[in-house]
C-alpha cells in the first residue's frame, strides 16, 4: 500500500462549498463546517468509483482524522466542488489529490440524501456519481485515507451483506443503485 510522502492537506474547514436547492441550482455558499453542522445544509458533492482492468473496485477506508464517519469503508473518492469550481474539474482535482490518479470520468447519476453521524454532524448532499477506469499505481493521501485496496465486486457485495455498518451511508446508497439500476451501463463502460 503506497502513501504520499508529503501528506498534503487538501480539505479545509473554511473552504466555501456550493449550496443548492433540490434542482441542483446554486443558491449560495457556506464553509465546510457550517454545511455539516446539525442536520446539515444541502450542498453539491460528488462520489467517484474507480475500477481496474480486472473489474475490481478501488475502496478506501476514511482517515481516523475525518470528523464524519472516520475509519469507515467507502468508495474510491468523494468530496465537494468549491465555490466557482465546476464539478467535472473538482472530481479530477480531488482524484489526483487523494489517490494520485489521473483518468477520465463518466457521470452516471445524481441523488439527494441526508445522513447523521452520531452527534458530530451530518451529510446533506446532492451528490453526482462518476465512474472511472485506471490501472495506475495508487499513491494515497494519508490525511484523507487510512487504507485502500481493490476488491472484486462479488466480494464487496458479500461484505456489505455480512456487515453493512462498516461502510459509509452514501456509499451503500450509491452501490445499491449502481448494482440494481446502472450495472449493465457500467459494465459496458468498463469494457
> What is residue 129's predicted lDDT score, i.e. its pLDDT?
98
> What is residue 41's predicted lDDT score, i.e. its pLDDT?
98
What is d(CA 176, CA 103) in angstroms, rounded to the nearest whole number?
A: 24
> What is residue 2's predicted lDDT score, i.e. its pLDDT?
58
For 103-131, how does the pLDDT look when each residue is reduced to its tens digit (9 = 90+)? Answer: 999 999 999 999 999 999 999 999 999 99
Mean pLDDT over 8-24 rounds to 84
* Strand partners for 150: 58
Q: Alpha-carbon torsion 129, 108, 57, 100, what sign?
A: negative
Percent of the chain with pLDDT over 70: 93
Catalytic residues: 78, 125
Taking 80 as the threshold, does the pLDDT of residue 11 lie above it?
A: no
Cα angle 133, 18, 97 (rounded to 5 degrees) comes to 40
| Element at 78 (helix H, strand E) | strand 77-79
Taking 80 as the threshold, does the pLDDT of residue 25 lie above it?
A: yes
Backbone φ and ψ for 4, nearest 5 degrees, come out as -65, 140
CB 36 within 8 A of CB 67: yes
Taking 90 as the threshold, does the pLDDT of residue 1 lie above it?
A: no
Taking 60 as the threshold, does the pLDDT of residue 5 lie above it?
A: no
- Residue 142: which of 35, 57, 39, 65 has the closest Cα? 65
Place of cell 464517519: 69
Mean pLDDT over 122-144 rounds to 96
> Which residue ranges form the domains of the chain, and what is each CATH number?
16-184 (3.90.79.10)
Amino acid at each position: 500500500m503506497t502513501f504520499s510522502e508529503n501528506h498534503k492537506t487538501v480539505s479545509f474547514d473554511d473552504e466555501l462549498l456550493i449550496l443548492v436547492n433540490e434542482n441542483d441550482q446554486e443558491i449560495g455558499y457556506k464553509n465546510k463546517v457550517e454545511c455539516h453542522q446539525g442536520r446539515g445544509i444541502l450542498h453539491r458533492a460528488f462520489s467517484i468509483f474507480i475500477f481496474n482492468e480486472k473489474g475490481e473496485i478501488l475502496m478506501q477506508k476514511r482517515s481516523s482524522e475525518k470528523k464524519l464517519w472516520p475509519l469507515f469503508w467507502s468508495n474510491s473518492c468523494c468530496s465537494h466542488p468549491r465555490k466557482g469550481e465546476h464539478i467535472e474539474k473538482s472530481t479530477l482535482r480531488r482524484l489526483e489529490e487523494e489517490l494520485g490518479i489521473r483518468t477520465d470520468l463518466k457521470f452516471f447519476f445524481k441523488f439527494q440524501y441526508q445522513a447523521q453521524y452520531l452527534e458530530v454532524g451530518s451529510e446533506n448532499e446532492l451528490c453526482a456519481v462518476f465512474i472511472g477506469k485506471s490501472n495506475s499505481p495508487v499513491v494515497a493521501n494519508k490525511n484523507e485515507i487510512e487504507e485502500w485496496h481493490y476488491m472484486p465486486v462479488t466480494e464487496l457485495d458479500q461484505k456489505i451483506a455480512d456487515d453493512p455498518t462498516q461502510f459509509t451511508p452514501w456509499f451503500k446508497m450509491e452501490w445499491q443503485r449502481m448494482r440494481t439500476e446502472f450495472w449493465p451501463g457500467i459494465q459496458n463502460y468498463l469494457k
